Amino acid sequence: MTLPFAARMQGAKRSFIREILKVTADPEVISFAGGLPNPATFPVQEVAAAATKVLAENGAAALQYSTTEGYPPLREWIAARYKTRKGITVDPDDILITTGSQQALDLAAKVFLDQGDPLVLEKPGYLGAIQAFALFRPGWRPTPLEEDGPDLAALERHLDGAKLFYAVTSFQNPSGLSYSKAKREAVAGLLDRFGTFFLEDDPYGELRFAGEDLPPVYSWRPENSVLLGTFSKIAAPGFRLGWMVAKGEIKERLVIAKQAADLHTGSLDQMVVWRFLVDNDFEAHIARSREAYRVQCEAMQAACAEFLPPEVRVTRPEGGMFLWAEMPAGANSVELLQKAVACKVAFVPGEAFYVDGTGGNTLRLNFSNSNPDRIREGMQRLGECMRQCLDGKRSA
Amino acid sequence: MTLPFAARMQGAKRSFIREILKVTADPEVISFAGGLPNPATFPVQEVAAAATKVLAENGAAALQYSTTEGYPPLREWIAARYKTRKGITVDPDDILITTGSQQALDLAAKVFLDQGDPLVLEKPGYLGAIQAFALFRPGWRPTPLEEDGPDLAALERHLDGAKLFYAVTSFQNPSGLSYSKAKREAVAGLLDRFGTFFLEDDPYGELRFAGEDLPPVYSWRPENSVLLGTFSKIAAPGFRLGWMVAKGEIKERLVIAKQAADLHTGSLDQMVVWRFLVDNDFEAHIARSREAYRVQCEAMQAACAEFLPPEVRVTRPEGGMFLWAEMPAGANSVELLQKAVACKVAFVPGEAFYVDGTGGNTLRLNFSNSNPDRIREGMQRLGECMRQCLDGKRSA
């Protein structure tokens, strides 16, 4: 019997990153490959206390079906946090709890994308979004990222006739880059001019350890944008808890798509995370995470300066979990990875983040899941492998 | 700005059932509308103990990202359970953990359905599946259910050229009907003859309180079928934990779709449910649930005999959570619901379970979420409303 797969599954691949993660199960491998938060930041005891309390006080509700929109107190917490942290007024009714922000990408794709619809995204772009969108077969319009945000001339060309612009505006995955205040304003202006719908993904916004906090582009045009957030980086990813901020008709459609996708996000998870948030000093918790990431990022930047060949360019993130390295044109990071794995160090080759087949000379380095000593050791190994690759290139 | 919705969202509606559930928040309303398991069966204390243990022993892993396929010990438990309960050999590697079995429907639709693909389903059919599939716009082929399974002549006609057959073979939602052994064999034979892929949904299989246990149709043809299961009815639905059994290439594609949908199902949920299953007497737990549902079902059947007009036909389920009632042709259960809500009793009008606009004279009655006294009281109210509706019909 021929298997009756849908056309959308042609060419759909497993995440290269998740395949690499299998190699890195070897504890001797120093892995900069995954996007794992530092587990030392996980509030394990606080979560245990929250779970005990929720089940004792409200066990039947925590284990029962619940509403598609999500647990009201958690939605209220998120709205209040936008007010205190970003100065944005968000109605709790405009928040839809999702099963991680990955689900938000799937729901947005379902609600907005017809096959062939022009979709503007960053270049490099977030792999999870590329995977979610790819199943709905849009027309990709990858738009180069610069140090302070997208190349505005390219963005202007690409927005003309586009259906949607998807972007990670702070400490982007994979590049670590953030939009400056000026570029946020300029992007909002261009989106308004072309009447393009905006999907803004902000998983790392709370993880700023340097520079000035900036509002999401969403805040310039909430009516024609959807803003995504997640508890994966501010509580823990194992809950699979994210959210979307969306208004009116858009939110209604997202709720319909969410019902069809999984009815609702776990009741117990939502109640436990809410309990954790309100029973503990969240500011102190998130401050500890930021500090841990600052130290790890600085260790990686120092090691880049010390060990990487000088012709390799590296970004300088002000938050988040990733650095981005660019080798000279012609170098190949998949070849580099083969050498690197033999030397017990891993990373993600950058080409996975490009929908146009370019980016072969780039790589993503995660700093959040190794301590500074391991970061230094791993970068020393990686620098040696890079030198061999680039020397081989020159002598070839 | 015109909102740029995808064509698939045209006509997509919120679940009528979930809207009715809002009305039934009034504690005076006796609701037979939802599909909520009896919360008295929830193992609240056992779950609390499991959560405490998991977080104490393995907290960082429980809160971290994990594999798309799911927690290996949980997959092993499911495979072992198929062996002891159904005599089926399932490889744990062929099990994919999903975010409730609703997600399994979404993933199957993504992997198999192109727009217009002929999809055979039961009539009446499971609403959650209709919603999940509808977003992928198949060509519906609703096939009448009889007391012992599908109308085989209709099924034979519909399987010709079909892409997929979706069915709930035991204690179906909404009808409460089950496939007999003979019909299971006949269905497997027809599927083989037409080379049709089979998606078998079995959320209620463990909830048999009368009659003989039967193997899923899957067991006749595992290579060309996917079998769905869930912990919603045997542990608790608030976890959103389900699974798919699928082999080889099919499982690979489902894993890809799952990565794009939500990366993986909650790590903590999976570990806690596994801990609950292995640290407690699961047989005793599920036996208590079966007994509770048997008592509730019998109370509803007795009340049907006592209070419903004799021309109303009612199914006699041997398990699960639902009864199905059919009023004489021409009667309308949406009108009945308006009367019923005024009398503080609720149910789901059957037309939501039909993709062809028929079924207006039918209704779904849930017996798992009310105690026998409330069931009797609610059915008395409902019987009175029905009598008024049917009398009004006759005198009109």
Structural domains of chain B, ranges and CATH numbers in brackets:
13-42+284-395 (3.90.1150.10), 44-279 (3.40.640.10)
Task: With CB atoms and an 8 Å threshold, state whether A224 touches B14.
Answer: no
Say whether pLDDT at A159 is over 80: yes
Measure the CA–CA gap between B310 and A100, rounded to whole angstroms.
51
Residues ≥6 apart with Cβ < 8 Å to A359: A123, A124, A350, A351, A353
pLDDT at B21: 64
Query: In this structure, are strands B322-326 and B139-146 parallel, antiparallel, or unpaired?
Result: unpaired
What totals of helices (H) and strands (E) does chain A contain, helices first?
12, 14
Contact present, A237 and A100 (Cβ < 8 Å) = yes
In chain B, residues with a C-beta closer than 8 Å to the C-beta of A62 are 44, 238
The pLDDT of residue A26 is: 83
Q: Taking CA atoms, what residue in A is nearest to B239?
A: A266
Note whether A42 contacts B65, CB cutoff 8 Å.
Answer: no
pLDDT tens string A337-393: 989 999 999 999 999 999 999 999 999 999 999 999 999 999 999 999 999 999 887
Does A285 lie at the interface with B, CB-CB under 8 angstroms? no
Look up residue B22 and give its amino acid: K
- pLDDT tens digit string along A54-72? 999 999 999 999 999 999 9
| Separation between Cα atoms, residue A320 and residue A368, nearest integer Å | 8
Partner-chain residue, chosen from A2, A18, A42, that has the shortest CB–CB distance to B68:
A18
Contact of B23 with chain A, judged by CB distance below 8 Å, is answered with: no
**Per-residue confidence (pLDDT) for residue B4, from 0 to 100:** 79
Is B22:B15 a contact under the CB 8 Å cutoff?
A: no
- For B4, which residue in chain A has the nearest alpha carbon? A112
Tokens of A87: 């100065």
SS3 content of chain A, % helix, strand, coil (to 5): 50, 15, 35
Report which secondary-structure segment, H or E, holds A323. strand A322-326
pLDDT of residue A34: 87
- Encoded tokens for B85: 């309960």
Closest chain A C-alpha to B105 CA, distance in angstroms: 8
Cβ atoms of B259 and A14 within 8 Å: the answer is: yes
Q: Which of A1, A223, A253 sits opposite B224 (nearest CB)?
A: A1
pLDDT per position as a tens digit, B51-66: 999 999 999 999 999 9
> Quick check: A256 and B14 CB within 8 A?
yes
CB of A66 less than 8 A from some CB of B: yes
B36 touches chain A (CB under 8 A): yes
Q: Is B343 exposed, middle or buried (0-12, 13-18, 19+ CB in 10 A)?
A: middle
d(CA B140, CA B130): 9
Q: Does B81 touch chain A (CB under 8 A)?
A: no
A235-250: pLDDT as tens digits: 999 999 999 999 999 9
The answer, yes or no, to whether residue B46 has pLDDT greater than 70, is yes
Task: Find residues 91-120 of chain B whose CB sits inside 8 Å of chain A.
Answer: 99-100, 102-103, 105-106, 110-114, 117
Say whether A51 and B56 touch across the interface (CB within 8 A): no
Q: Does pLDDT of A260 surpass 70? A: yes
Q: Binning pLDDT at 50, 70 and 90, where does residue B26 land?
A: confident
CA distance from start to end of chain A: 50
The pLDDT tens digits for A204-218 are: 999 999 999 999 999
Average pLDDT over residues A255-259: 96
Q: Are B178 and B167 in contact (CB under 8 A)?
A: no
Instruction: Retrieve residue A331's tokens.
Output: 């170098």
Mean pLDDT of the A36-61 span: 96
Q: Is pLDDT of B193 > 90? A: yes
> B259 contacts in A (CB within 8 Å)?
14-15, 18, 131
- Residue B210 has a CB neighbour count (10 Å cut-off) of 12
Whole-angstrom Cα distance, residue B255 to residue A107? 18
Percent helix, percent strand, percent coil in chain B, to nearest 5: 50, 15, 35
Say whether pLDDT at B16 is over 70.
Answer: no
In the predicted structure, residue A78 carries a pLDDT above the cut 80: yes
CA distance A51 to chain B (A): 7
Instruction: Tally Cβ neighbours within 10 Å of residue A18.
Output: 18
Check the CA dihedral B24-B364-A255-A66 and report its sign: positive
Could you tell me which of A24, A41, A167, A154 has the C-alpha nearest to residue A105? Answer: A167
Tokens standing for residue A170:
């702070």
Q: Residue A142: beta bridge partners?
A: A121
Q: How confident is the model at residue A180 (pLDDT cuts 50, 70, 90)?
A: very high
CA–CA separation, B217 and B149 (whole Å)? 12
Which tokens belong to A86?
Answer: 């970003």
Confidence of residue A136 (pLDDT cuts 50, 70, 90): very high
Residues of B in contact with A164 (CB under 8 A): 4
What pLDDT, on a 0 to 100 scale, did the predictor assign at position B396? 58
Q: How far apart are CA A266 and CA A190, in angstroms?
A: 38
Chain A closest-CA separation from residue B13 CA (Å):
6
Amino acid A12: pLDDT: 72
The answer to whether residue B58 neighbours chain A at the CB level (below 8 Å) is no
Structure tokens at B372: 């026998």
Which amino acid appears at position B261 of this protein?
A: A
Eight-state DSSP code of residue A223: G
- Mutual angle of helices A282-307 and A372-395, in 10-degree steps: 30
Tokens standing for A187? 């992007």
Q: What is the mean pLDDT of residues A89-94?
A: 98
Whether the CB of B194 is below 8 Å from some CB of chain A: the reply is: no
Of the two residues A285 and A13, the one the predictor is more confident about is A285
Does A11 lie at the interface with B, CB-CB under 8 angstroms?
Answer: no
Q: Is the pLDDT of residue B25 over 90?
A: no
Mean pLDDT score of chain B, rounded to an integer? 95
The owner of tokens 């981005």 is A324
How many other CB atoms are there within 10 angstroms of residue A1's CB atom? 12
Nearest to A44 among B8, B60, B253 (CB): B60
Give every CB contact of residue A338 below 8 A, 6+ residues apart in sequence: none
